[in-house]
């Protein structure tokens, strides 16, 4: 019995030392929840840190640490439960996070017309070096892209682009009651509502690519553009959209369509999903 209690005490001490070490190393990620803030922490490095800093009654080798972390989890500030292995990424896993981020950023840059076509693997490798000081070959980028199930740039370019079907819209106009009454016609058509808040998961700091993202939050169609947009501002309809509009700074652009505006809305919606991998956040269902 005493022997079993000693084993439990030793395991608890190892767990305590391990958690303190990980909190020190991954503090930035634990505060932000952004995978780009993770630091490389393979288990071999963790065991060296434990050997140097912790006064443990046993040798904290890789095998012992691996068995311990396999069954542990932690709670993020937002309440999300994550396996403890999340805090133990190797360099390749960090490359996966960075390349996934660049692929999401690529969609934003295409929408803003800052680039004309998707990024080839050579350009991704160049951006990794520029943004993170990471030297990685084009072949390694391609291998990680395959692992993430991301097509090459030619296949991504071959998809029906949202920009190709979103022509003919008005300039962006202020989404206010006064602006809608003065500048939006009482005609049938399609419209696109933008929010101007920065989107942190698509902004790359300290770079020419940094931008305040203008995010498309809703795509819709209606028989009367002025009336529908006024209804949105009054909260008649989607609660989620009204919450976004209540933040202020929203803008809208429209396209007058005499007939088949619902068909065009569906075309815009599906092209948006195909281009950016997800629907606008305030569109709760497919039109």
**Using one digit for the tens of pLDDT, what is the confidence trace for 237-277?**
778 888 888 888 899 999 999 989 999 999 899 888 877 77
Domain assignment of residue 281, yes or no: no
Report which of residues 222 and 286 the model is more confident about. 222
How high is the mean pLDDT of the chain? 83
The pair phi, psi for residue 217, each rounded to 5°, is: -105, -15
Count of structural domains, the chain? 3
Average pLDDT for 206-226: 68
Contact 219, 270 (CB under 8 A): no
Angle at 266 between CA 262 and CA 269, to 5 degrees: 135
Q: Which helix (H) or strand (E) holds 83?
A: strand 81-83
- 190 Rama sector, left if φ>0, alpha if ψ -120 to 50, beta otherwise: beta
| The pLDDT of residue 149 | 72
Residue 108 lies in a domain: yes
Which domain range does residue 26 map to? 2-87
pLDDT at 117: 84
Task: Provide the pLDDT for residue 121.
Answer: 95
φ, ψ (nearest 5 deg) of residue 191: -145, 165
Whole-angstrom distance, CA of residue 51 vs CA of residue 137: 34
Please identify, among 40, 68, 87, the residue that sits at the C-terminal boundary of a domain: 87
Q: Is residue 151 domain-shared with residue 209, that is, in the same domain?
A: no
Across the range 22-38, mean pLDDT stands at: 93
- Alpha-carbon distance of 160 to 29, in angstroms, equals 36
Residue 284 falls inside a structural domain: no
How much is the pLDDT for 3?
Answer: 60
| Range among 14-23, 217-226, 245-254 rated most confident | 217-226
pLDDT tens-digit readout, 167-208:
889 988 999 999 899 999 999 999 999 975 433 343 333 333
């Amino acid at each position: 019995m005493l022997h079993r209690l000693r084993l439990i005490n030793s395991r608890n001490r190892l767990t305590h030392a391990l958690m303190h070490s990980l909190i020190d190393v991954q503090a930035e990620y634990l505060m932000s929840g952004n995978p780009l803030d993770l630091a490389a922490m393979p288990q071999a490095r963790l065991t060296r840190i434990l050997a140097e800093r912790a006064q443990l009654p046993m040798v904290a080798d890789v095998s012992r640490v691996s068995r311990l972390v396999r069954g542990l989890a932690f709670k993020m500030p937002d309440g999300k439960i994550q396996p403890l292995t999340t805090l133990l990424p190797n360099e390749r896993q960090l490359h996966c996070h960075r390349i996934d981020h660049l692929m999401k950023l690529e969609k934003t840059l295409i929408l803003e017309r800052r680039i004309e076509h998707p990024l080839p693997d050579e350009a991704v490798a160049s951006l990794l070096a520029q943004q993170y000081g990471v030297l990685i070959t084009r072949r390694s980028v391609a291998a990680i892209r395959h692992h993430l199930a991301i097509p090459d740039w030619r296949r991504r370019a071959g998809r029906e682009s949202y920009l190709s079907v979103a022509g003919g819209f008005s300039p962006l106009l202020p989404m206010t009651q006064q602006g809608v009454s003065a500048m939006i016609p009482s005609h049938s058509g399609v419209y696109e509502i933008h929010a101007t808040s920065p989107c942190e998961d698509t902004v790359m700091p300290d770079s020419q690519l940094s931008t305040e993202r203008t995010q498309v939050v809703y795509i819709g169609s209606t028989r009367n553009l002025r009336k529908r947009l006024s209804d949105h501002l009054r909260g008649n309809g989607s609660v989620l959209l009204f919450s976004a509009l209540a933040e202020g700074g929203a803008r809208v652009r429209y396209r007058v369509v005499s007939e088949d505006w619902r068909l065009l809305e569906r075309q815009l919606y599906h092209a948006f999903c195909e281009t950016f991998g997800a629907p606008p956040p305030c569109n709760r269902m497919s039109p």
